[in-house]
Structure 1
């Protein structure tokens, strides 16, 4: 990741961004600019190099401001814009009076209006000239170059009109500059608004925590809080770090992270995330992740990675813009020469200046990235992270959605429903399962607590995972295997584990533990939505036939589209088989156990709330457990794609019509 992040001021089009990257590269600095948010990511920590680069950029009318507020820049730009338009009132008044047939022309009036025009063009447009002429000097012209040359040429007609038979267009130069400054302000405000959702995420980061030290509450910098520390969060405060509640209960608003609209009730043992709001209770929280590893930090890192990637059409438009500005200069020169040959110097000036100021490469440069920026911001508010813009195009082609069951269609929090194990055997099973981090293990441990079983006195050793099948361990010198029910088992309607005990060198079945898992509230509606859109829906699960078909029937997935008793690699083989049939498969799973299937699918969607949020996890990450986020993903992808096409159409049509 880049070591420095900052804001760039002075940019007016994508060519400006290319110029800045070119200048920085000449100083041995690799940088990436997100033009839509005026954000620069600089891969250097050499302050001497950076200072030299800034000096060179200053000469071209640009600057890099590390951690500068976007609002501060916009306020300054708005103030200059308002002042410029106020000063230009006499010019507008003179134009209106001329239209009404009232002419106030005199030498004094002309000189007064020229003085006002010069102030607007030269003083208020100074950054435009610095950028435009500076870029032209290093053979990287941009839209500022067009406006700078056009307004200077127009302003120059006043002194030239005293020695040549040409009209005075100096007032028009001021109007052109004012309109361009207004356009720049609107564009900058739009680009900042486009990244406002990401900025909101940054605002959720708390810089301090109330840490318990020697039994006393002490306010400390968040960087000094370590894993295992106990922090206090009072009502109305944001939770500073990810952790587990050890004391207290409250409602916590997680909407800013997961998109969940309603606050959740949280109590001792529940997990809470940094950036979420503690609404009404006193909480003591054991820190599970330090500042750099919190979910919100991982989300922001993910967003920055995704913003640095581009659609193929975006790369093409940027190349078009690269040649667009030089082409406009050539067209302007041709127009001037053609009219001059006909002996009409006034029309030659009007035609050439018009071509310079009417062209709009910004529209082409912004068409794609601005739509993506706004769209990604909307998705982020709903807890949806998209790996790159290409994923949006892939989502639109999806015709098949394959769901994992546990934690995807269901809550992923199974509970023990029934068991026929002898009490002494169940104690040993619970002791082994207490050493494993898995939903099934947690369910058994919780059930043992309800029965009042004390596990601390049971000696547990040699616990190991049997991939895709279960676990094995030794409790009080008794070797136990807890395995999921085999493929031939049809005695149980829910997830079921069979318990075996090693006796006389052989594993003997001792009984079963049956579990149940609730279906997520919106599972049925999501499946129904997909089917109405003509998208095929499948279910892949490691559970037995009865449990799989029971869930499928409840949510509306056809029985022939249900695959059960699947190991992780077998799930991936099914995905591969479906895609070999020409299907564009989106797989939705938990992102860890389902990693092979996510990687194999056309679009891999991982549901995650942990610190494992990385670009390798999937094409799309849903932060939280909202299954309806799949609907949001499909709908918003369609919206983003439509907006990109619309923006490109208007940008090309405007330039095609306006320039001739």
Structure 2
């Protein structure tokens, strides 16, 4: 018990130790240069400029405004490789600057940093109750009452036979030997230890109930883009018809995609920039998530998105283009259909890469008998191609963002205990609906707030570690309670029979 308690406290303390106690703040001097002033971290405010030398821990969240260096983020994210940071990049408190000096504009300090939020989540998880703990809490009062009843019965029994001293000794031994502490402390200490251990490995567990629920999960549902794949779409091909120029079409579509937050939009914009195409301006843009966009560029009406979106807008589709679409989708490429003034004139094919550890995770979960589902808004042929690369799993494709929550609910109604793994804003309702929601650290703030478990980096293997941690925690709790029951079943009868003295009971 003491060792577990020390381990739980030490886990939180190690996180607290990452926070530097002071920071070197730069102030403009009288001669126009900067003066260095060492301040306690509590005196540092957002907007201050701080200097971080090589080998220093970063004192606050902020943005690099000068310098370039590699930063060790393993303490927060578990990522073993240093990450290069330059002007415009965000850095987090508690990470370690390796190579060169960085000048940083402070954006958050203490509890308002990534480190502060991690510590708060760990503390909340350590103090939260799992259902099994609530059961133990209900047992403890009855256990104490039974203990008092047994001690009283023991005293009356031996006193009845004229052995007052023996009666007193035996009753005292019963009171000493009984051990309700294990019932009351086995669960909270195990949860506190698990929360701290998870945080050290880049797994943030928001409450103790999650650990117990995760150990009973039998169905994992994965988002595709940004979860099983890297989420960094790249334009692979552009084809046009009706005399349209590839670069011109790409540039016109990029003007529309500026109004979308989807990773496909970023890929098209990036490709247009890489080709040095002059930016255009789109007007009257309508963005319908899960479908596409429409708007006017250069006096023409553009409709960009899925084939279904084009059909909804009465676009005349090109049969020759559809043959190319079938070929590309079979290769796990996503096709963006482009129509001008009511006629389909081109296709932009984009593709994403599987994460390096995605196949290993899926194989591991499949080996444990877990049901697996790929949930995607992409075309079925694209989603099935990705599923085949992962060794095969159930595919639910062409799902609109608002429908993901409904699908999770339907799986639960069939009796499944569902864990949802996602990273985007459109995954947030499904993460909340699932029995356990797991968000990747590269995802949006919304998905992170909606999830029960947040992975601090993009390593999918952390999903497997989370499951293993939940099973280990529940096993430890049950083991502790089982040992306590066995101990009491053996020792209480010995104490009642006066076979052991209070001294021996205290030692035991």
TM-score category of the 2 structures, normalised to the smaller one = 0.7 to 0.9
Inter-partner Cα distance in structure 1 for 2:284 and 2:24: 40
Q: 1: CA distance between counterparts of 2:127 and 2:155?
A: 41
Q: What does residue range 492-503 of structure 1 map to in structure 2 within 5 Å?
A: 492-493=328-329, 494-501=333-340
Cα distance per residue 1:544-574 (max 9 Å; x no partner): 234323322222124xx22322211333333
Q: Please say if residues 298 and 614 of structure 1, whose CA atoms lie closer than 8 Å, have aligned partners that are also in contact.
A: no
Do structure 1's residue 315 and structure 2's residue 134 form an aligned pair? yes
Determine which of 157, 160, 168 is the counterpart of 1:341.
160
Post-superposition offset of 1:337: 3.8
Query: Which of 500, 507, 531 matches 2:366?
Result: 531
Q: Tell me how far 1:394 sits from its aligned partner.
A: 2.4
377, 384, 387: which one aligns with 1:549: 384
Map 1:419-498 onto structure 2 (within 5 A).
419-420=238-239, 422-434=246-258, 436-453=260-277, 455=279, 458-459=280-281, 465-472=287-294, 480-484=302-306, 486=308, 489-493=325-329, 494-498=333-337
Change (3 A) 1:355 1:401: same
Equivalents in 1 of 2:51, 2:186: separation in Å? 47
Residue of structure 1 equivalent to 2:316? none
Matches within 5 A, 1:387-426: 387-420=206-239, 422-426=246-250
Deviation track 1:132-182 (CA, whole Å, cap 9, x = no partner) reads xxxxxxxxxxxxxxxxxxxxxxxxxxxxxxxxxxxxxxxxxxxxxxxxxxx
Looking at structure 2, the residues matched to 422 and 507 of structure 1 have their Cα atoms a distance apart, in angstroms, of 18
How far is 1:364 from its partner? 1.9
Check whether the contact 2:219–2:416 (CA below 8 A) recurs between aligned residues: yes
Q: More deviation in 375-384 or 283-292? A: 283-292
Shift of 1:314: 1.6
Partner of 1:133: none
Alpha-carbon distance in structure 2 between the residues aligned to 1:301 and 1:211: 26
What is the correspondence of 1:86-125 to structure 2 with a 5 Å cutoff?
none
Deviates more, 1:371-380 or 1:278-287: 278-287
- Establish whether residue 564 from structure 1 lines up as the match of residue 388 from structure 2: no
Q: Which has the higher contact order (CA 8 A, sep 6+)?
A: 2
Distance 1:261 1:201 in 2: 17
The runs of at least 4 consecutive aligned structure 1 residues that moved more than 6 Å come to none
Q: Among residues 4, 13, 18, which one is paired with 1:204 in the alignment? A: 18
Does residue 239 in structure 1 map to residue 78 in structure 2? no
Residue 518 of structure 1: SS of its match in structure 2? coil
Structure 1 pair 268–496 and aligned structure 2 pair: CA distance change class (3 A): farther
Q: Is the deviation greater in 524-533 or in 315-324?
A: 315-324
Q: Which has the larger radius of gyration?
A: 1
1:478-525 per-residue CA deviation (whole Å, 9 max, x = no partner) reads: 665442454875353412333445xxxx45545333222221111011
Q: How far 1:204 moved relative to its partner?
A: 2.1
Q: Is the 8 A contact 1:500 1:510 kept in 2?
A: yes
Q: CA deviation at 1:627?
A: 0.8
* Structure-1 separation of matches of 2:55 and 2:285: 43
CA positional deviation for 1:657: 2.0
Distance 2:261 2:48 in 1: 22
For 2:272 and 2:25, how far apart are their aligned partners in 1? 33
Mapping of residues 4-83 of structure 1, within 5 Å: none
Q: How many angstroms does 1:626 deviate by?
A: 1.3
Distance 1:198 1:479, change over 3 A: farther
CA 1:481/1:381 → structure 2, altered by over 3 Å: closer, same or farther?
farther
Aligned mates of 1:260, 1:607 — CA distance in 2: 13
Q: How far is 1:327 from its partner? A: 4.6
The root-mean-square deviation of aligned C-alpha atoms, in Å, is: 3.2
1:364 equivalent in structure 2: 183
Contact (CA 8 Å) 1:234, 1:282: kept in 2 or not?
Answer: yes
| 1:60 aligned partner | none
* Structure-1 separation of matches of 2:110 and 2:39: 13
Verify the 8 A CA contact 2:405 2:430 in the aligned structure 1: yes
**Structure-2 change in CA distance of 1:350 and 1:365 (3 Å):** same
Aligned residues: 466
Instruction: Tell me the distance in 2 between the aligned counterparts of 1:239 and 1:586.
Output: 35
Give the alignment's TM-score, normalised by structure 2.
0.80
CA contact (8 A) 2:425 2:444 kept: no
- Distance change >3 Å, CA 474–CA 285, structure 1 → 2: farther
Instruction: Please point out which of 610, 632, 637 is paired with 2:470.
Output: 637
- TM superposition score normalised by structure 1: 0.63
- Equivalent-residue separation in structure 1 for 2:378 and 2:386 (angstroms): 11
Checking the alignment, whether the CA contact within 8 Å between 1:293 and 1:611 is kept in structure 2 is no
